[in-house]
């Protein structure tokens, strides 16, 4: 299963960075690839979110379960339904200094077309990596 790992150092303390990353509904206004994001349900630290993202000229849609682990500055997500066969991973924040936070985004995915896997996986991996990096950079650009 292909994985994507991206990191970005955000010039903001860990609590402010955490609050920004947890505010999913603002993502479409903060980052170009995210066309739409809607919270469908929320119970405690678990929520169900519906995503629509531009990906290399296509639109990728999915619904995921997100679990926030504030004591660990971590959000774990798993696709429940969507365009990919599998899509899951986590966001992990680490304090670098009083005014710097490293944000790490780890993603596993499976396209679900076995005959085309060798051809599509590298293209999809690059596209997801570029989108993920764009998303992380958008957090650092917010003032």
**Sequential pLDDT tens for the chain (143 residues):** 788 899 999 999 999 999 999 999 999 998 888 999 999 999 999 999 999 998 878 888 999 999 999 999 999 999 999 988 899 999 999 999 889 999 999 999 887 765 556 655 667 777 788 888 888 888 878 76
Q: What pTM does this model have?
A: 0.87
In the chain, which residue ranges form alpha helices assigned H by DSSP? 14-22, 27-30, 117-141
62 beta partners? 51, 82
Sheet containing 100-110, strands listed edge to edge, beginning at the edge strand earlier in sequence: 3-10, 100-110, 86-97, 74-82, 58-69, 46-55, 34-43
Residues 73, 12 contacting (CB under 8 angstroms): no
Residues 11, 100 contacting (CB under 8 angstroms): yes
Q: 3-141, superfamily in CATH?
A: START domain (3.30.530.20)
């Amino acid at each position: 299963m292909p994985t994507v790992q991206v990191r970005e150092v955000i010039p903001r303390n860990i609590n402010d960075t955490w609050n920004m990353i947890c505010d999913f509904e603002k993502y479409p206004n903060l980052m170009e690839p995210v066309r739409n994001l809607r919270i469908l349900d929320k119970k405690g630290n678990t929520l169900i979110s519906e995503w629509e993202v531009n990906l290399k000229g296509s639109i990728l849609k999915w619904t995921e379960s997100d679990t926030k682990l504030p004591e660990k500055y971590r959000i774990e997500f798993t696709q429940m339904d969507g365009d990919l066969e599998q899509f899951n991973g986590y966001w992990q924040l680490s304090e670098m200094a009083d005014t710097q936070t490293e944000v790490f985004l780890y993603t596993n995915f499976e396209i679900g077309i076995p005959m085309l896997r060798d051809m599509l996986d590298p293209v999809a991996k690059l596209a997801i990596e570029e989108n993920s990096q764009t998303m992380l950079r958008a957090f650092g650009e917010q003032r």
